[in-house]
Chain A
Amino acid sequence: DAGVIQSPRHEVTEMGQEVTLRCKPISGHNSLFWYRQTMMRGLELLIYFNNNVPIDDSGMPEDRFSAKMPNASFSTLKIQPSEPRDSAVYFCASSSGIASYNEQFFGPGTRLTVL
């Protein structure tokens, strides 16, 4: 199994540009999570999906952030327009369910730098 796949691994963009991060969960997993990691705030959950449906997006910081999961094997996190304070590492994780006993498996992350 290839694990959770994220692309790109690194993204450098200028303020105001649109940024799209991509995630492919582990095959067979029906739950997907987007996290953001910064030095100041650590790891924070942004949004999670179950069976392609967004369940909780209370962690999404602003309307500039949006996430979609059009099918079971693909999700995107979009920032439009991007700002320097969005610079962080964005992780995607998947699991076989959203029950508390379901272990999450993390991708390698996308390091985003907004200039």
Chain B
Amino acid sequence: KQEVTQIPAALSVPEGENLVLNCSFTDSAIYNLQWFRQDPGKGLTSLLLIQSSQREQTSGRLNASLDKSSGRSTLYIAASQPGDSATYLCAVPYGGATNKLIFGTGTLLAVQP
């Protein structure tokens, strides 16, 4: 059974710092991995989707990497800003070649001005 965990559960950093969020999954036979952002009281916004054949995806100050063999993905945020404060979730499809998602436990990020 696929399990997805995220470390740390919460993180507080000063503005301007670079940071890394971690996501681990137990079954390496994944088709892709997706990172989401969730603001308080809001829905989920997709940040990056990495296909299994890719090693990295970049969008602005965000860079996501994927290492299937070790069951790990990282989300790197450069030059963090208070507006980056949110919960970050990773998710992988499970149950065959469909996009049913199983989500990680999330990392609550607070960027202090």
Contact = CB atoms under 8 A, between A and B. Distances in A.
Interface of A: 4, 31, 33, 42-45, 48, 55-56, 91, 93, 95, 97-109, 111
14 contacts: A4-B43, A31-B99, A33-B101, A43-B103, A48-B100, A55-B98, A91-B44, A95-B99, A99-B98, A100-B99, A102-B99, A108-B42, A109-B42, A109-B43
Contact of B43 (A45, A48, A56, A107): A107
B51 interface: yes
B43 A104 contact: no
A60 B104 CA distance: 19
A2 to B, nearest CB: 13
Which of B45, B49, B100 is the most central at the interface, judged by chain A CB atoms within 10 Å of its CB? B100
Nearest to B41: A111
Interface of B: 31-32, 34, 36, 41-46, 49, 51, 89, 91, 93, 95, 97-106
A99 B99 CA distance: 6
A58 to B, nearest CB: 9
A11 B34 CA distance: 30
Given A43-B89, A105-B46, A56 B100 contact: yes
Contacts, number: 60
A91 B99 contact: no
Nearest to A55: B98
A106 B44 contact: yes
Nearest to B30: A100
Nearest to A10: B41
A63 B103 CA distance: 24
Nearest to B98: A98
A56 B89 contact: no
A108 B99 contact: no
A100 B31 contact: yes
A98 B97 CA distance: 8
A101 B46 CA distance: 13
Given A100-B32, A100-B98, A103-B34, A42 B43 contact: no
A42 B106 contact: yes
A42 B99 CA distance: 18
